[in-house]
Amino acid sequence: MAICRGFDQYPGVIWNVEEFARAAAVTADGLAAYVDESQRGLPPVIRRRPPREVAERLGLVRWIREGGMTPDSYAEFLAAYLDEGTRLHHPAYLGHQIAAPDFPAALADFVHGATNNPMAVYEMGASAATVEFEVLRWMLDKVGFGETGGGVLTHGGSLANLTALLAARAAAVPEAWTDGVPADLALLAPASAHYSLTRAAAILGLGERAVMPLDVDGLGRVDVARLPEALDRVRRAGRRPMALVASACSTGTGLYDDLRGIGEFCTANGVWFHVDGAHGASALLAEEHRHLLDGIELADSLIWDAHKMLRTSSLAAAVLTRREGDLDAAFRQRASYLFYGDQGFDLIGRTVECSKAELGLKVFLNLAWRGERGLGDYVARQYATAHRFWELARERPGFECPYEPESNIVCFRYGGADQAEIRERLMADGAFQLTSAEIDGVRHLRVTVMAPATDDKTLEALLDRIGGERGPGG
Ligand SMILES: *Cc1c(COP(=O)(O)O)cnc(C)c1O
């Protein structure tokens, strides 16, 4: 028997489930049309209307003041909202490394939005917690940490890097949690490492100055032969290496560090080896690219973003450690191992967050729908499209491509003009979205092939546009 009746006493507070179902159908139809026209490349990939005009078009002030939205007015609002946004499914979306989400993951976000099971403690969502647990087991297996490893999903790569380095700090100085951080710790990282690592060093109390640069080649890759010198420099400066960081792949160029070479050096010297695989760890799923991650099993810790190449919405990132106890030790000194007990398990001891979204479900539904194989095929396809762009660009006069891409990120220059200006012009009418990056102090244009809809035609059109803007050197 129901424990509560007389819902009509609370109109507008209790869900009107018919209204919800109608609004949900409006949402599904609106999003289906949005993705359909986006992946066909019909509307501009971005509109850059100023915020005042956006607020006006969406009627924000009025809605906030008056309320009263209905499924019909919501449909209108949603269409305008989607239209003013950035279309990640658009073939001309070649910008930041953010997934064009696949729909199973989108469904997971919807389910989370309605059920809200913040499952960092088991009793707040047994299914969500168990799904995360199994997703992590799958990831640990892929990396080669299956037997001994531990993991947790967290809201993004930056937080994941912070968490992994916290585990490294606990391993180096177990008493830092209670007594504070000694002044002699060092983090060894190439200057090309993601900025979240330097931030993490500052947040962890090491200070930015504790980040000591590793020697790199002209493309920012760690120079393995010069690692002994770097370690020497650290020790001569009176510091203890807390961790050494490699990128798989680096954000700027999309190039992978030599994980085996670096990992063997770290093992031989007793240095914690952290791999930032936020973007590129997903290549583990693609047979022909897995070799890029050769040696990853030597890492002490690794991060792997699902909202980049596993096609979930932002944010969902895994922190994985080779020894499970290391991750628990990050937040307290005594390890408590996770197991399938009858009481379940609480992942809360492994994260900065207290409550946490149902992140595992997004990854799981993409896996369940597409299979590991389908996700791997996606990675391989995007990497191949980027390679194709490189092939096309280097055949054209005026284009300079400093390296052969290893992932779906390609950097290039056109002519002698200000590259940032070229980018601005391409984006001004919403024809393309792309980014830029510095390599060895020189600004390059940067393409990241995220949308499955990007094809040769898109790439040729981009090259035509850039090449047609001005002659080389002009
Ligand atoms: C994107 C990225 C990050 C940061 O991840 P967020 O999820 O955006 O916080 C860290 N490292 C690398 C190499 C990245 O590409």
pLDDT at 334: 61
Cα–Cα distance, 332 to 334 (Å, whole number):
6
> Regarding beta strands 150-154 and 442-448, do their DSSP bridges make them parallel or antiparallel, or are they unpaired?
unpaired
Cα–Cα distance, 372 to 285 (Å, whole number):
7
What radius of gyration do the chain's Cα atoms show? Answer: 24
Residue 315 CA: nearest ligand 1 atom is 7
Residue 399 Cα, ligand 1 centroid: separation in angstroms?
Answer: 28
Mutate to test the pocket of ligand 1, among 96, 97, 196, 448 (most ligand atoms within 8 A of CB): 196
pLDDT at 1: 54
Report residue 132 CA to chain centroid gap. 17
Mutate to test the pocket of ligand 1, among 199, 251, 275 (most ligand atoms within 8 A of CB): 251
Residue 136 Cα, ligand 1 centroid: separation in angstroms?
Answer: 19
The residue contributing the CA closest to ligand 1 atom 4 is 157
Helix (H) or strand (E) holding 423: helix 419-428
Check: CB of residue 89 under 8 Å from CB of residue 35: yes
Smallest Cα–Cα separation from 247: which of 212, 199, 203, 299?
299
Residue 307 CA: nearest ligand 1 atom is 7
Helix (H) or strand (E) holding 448: strand 442-448
Chunked into runs of 10 residues, the chain (474 residues) has average pLDDT values of 65 89 98 98 95 98 97 97 98 97 98 93 92 97 95 97 98 95 97 97 97 97 98 97 98 98 98 98 98 98 98 97 95 67 81 92 98 98 98 96 98 95 93 96 97 97 85 44
Mutate to test the pocket of ligand 1, among 250, 279, 363 (most ligand atoms within 8 A of CB): 279
The 10 Å Cβ neighbour count of residue 342 is 4
Contacts of 344 (CB under 8 A, 6+ apart): 122, 123, 126, 129, 130
Residue 279 Cα, ligand 1 centroid: separation in angstroms?
Answer: 7
Cα–Cα distance, 256 to 246 (Å, whole number):
8
Check: CB of residue 383 under 8 Å from CB of residue 283: yes
pLDDT at 340: 67
Annotated domain spans of the chain: 110-366
Residue 342 Cα, ligand 1 centroid: separation in angstroms?
Answer: 36
Cβ < 6 Å from ligand 1: which residues? 97, 156-158, 161, 194, 196, 247, 251, 276, 278-279, 305, 315, 317
pLDDT at 6: 65
Helix (H) or strand (E) holding 96: none
Query: How close are the terminal C-alpha atoms of the chain, in Å?
Result: 79
Return the CATH number of 110-366, one of 3.40.50.2300, 1.10.20.10, 3.40.640.10, 3.40.50.800: 3.40.640.10
Which neighbouring-strand residues pair with 93? Answer: 433
DSSP strand E in 252-323: where?
A: 273-276, 301-305, 317-321
Tokens of 420: 């940032």
